[in-house]
Amino acid sequence: MLQLIEDIGFAAVRFVAELGRITWFAVDVARAVFTPPPRIRAFLGEMFNIGVLSLLIICVSGAAVGMVLGLQGYNTLVRFAAEESLGAVVGLSLIRELGPVLTALLTTGRAGSATTAEIGTMVATEQLDGLRMLAIDPVHLVVAPKTLAMIAAMPLLSALFIVCGLAGGYFVGVALMGVDAGSYVSSLQNAVDFRDDVLGSVLKAFVFGVLIGLISTFRGYTCQPTSAGVSAATTSTVVVGSVSVLLFDYIITALWGV
């Protein structure tokens, strides 16, 4: 019994210590971002890896989610003869919740895990120590561009996800189910507000970008220098990243009042 309480206490202390470490890590990254010279080439390369290479999965998933929303929404709304509101249903669900959250989850799996594995392998093969020997700060050269690229790419990917979803919902609702095109678009436009919905959506995507950018690089940077350590760190990125995205989604929704 005492052992159990001790274990709980240890877990709590470890959790808080971990929070402290990742906060200091975030401070280091932020300082590195503003330290000259800016690593523009490295940043662009990471934008390519994280943003461009995630485009396909984001667009296909967005369209699929939009189509499902269109179908489910239509089947429910048609019972109340309210299928004109389909645009509002698809648009609000995508913009408020599904767009940012699903984009963040997909990007965690697609790019966050890769980031952790890459930095983790650098740790395991002592490449980061090699950089330090050359008096190059690995946070400045390796970590900060990746984090920054994740933060910059997330709102863009989320917006593309939402637009693909709207197109998917339009396709199912208007082309397949025969909802009037004008009422789909006008119910969408009437329901969506700029500040409440679109700004909230961008804010969510931005916060998720910060979260995943920091978690994935932190896990890689602090991983055990073994192959098992790299694999554990990658797993941890996906688990911790996904859970914190969902938790923060609730917090932002509650605070922003969406």
Contacts with another protein, residue ranges (CB under 8 A): 41-42, 44-45, 47-48, 51-52, 55, 91, 95, 153, 155-157, 159-160, 162-163, 166, 188-190, 192-194, 197-198, 201-202
Q: Which residue number, 44 or 239, has a Cβ lying nearer to another protein?
A: 44
Minimum distance, C-beta of residue 156 to another protein, in the bound complex (Å): 3
Closest to another protein by CB, 44 vs 255, is 44
Q: How far is the CB of 198 from another protein (least distance, A)?
A: 4
- C-alpha to C-alpha distance for 54 and 129, rounded to whole angstroms: 30
Angle in degrees, 0-180, between the axes of helices 99-107 and 55-77, rounded to the nearest 10: 140
Which of 19/52 has CB closer to another protein? Answer: 52
CB of 38 to another protein, least distance (A): 13
Q: Which residues, at least 6 apart from 87, have a Cβ–Cβ distance to it below 8 Å? A: 169, 170, 173, 183, 184, 185, 186, 187, 188, 189, 191
Q: How far is the CB of 210 from another protein (least distance, A)?
A: 17
User: Are residues 127 and 225 in contact, defined by beta-carbon separation less than 8 angstroms?
Assistant: no
C-alpha distances in Å from residue 194, one per residue of 95, 201, 227, 253: 11, 10, 47, 15
For residues 205 and 190, give the distance between their C-alpha atoms in angstroms, rounded to a whole number: 23
State the Cα–Cα distance between residues 159 and 173, nearest whole angstrom.
21
78 vs 239 by CB, closer to another protein: 78
Closer to another protein by CB, 149 or 240: give it.
149
Q: Give the shortest CB-170-to-another protein separation in angstroms.
A: 12
Structure tokens at 177: 């189910």
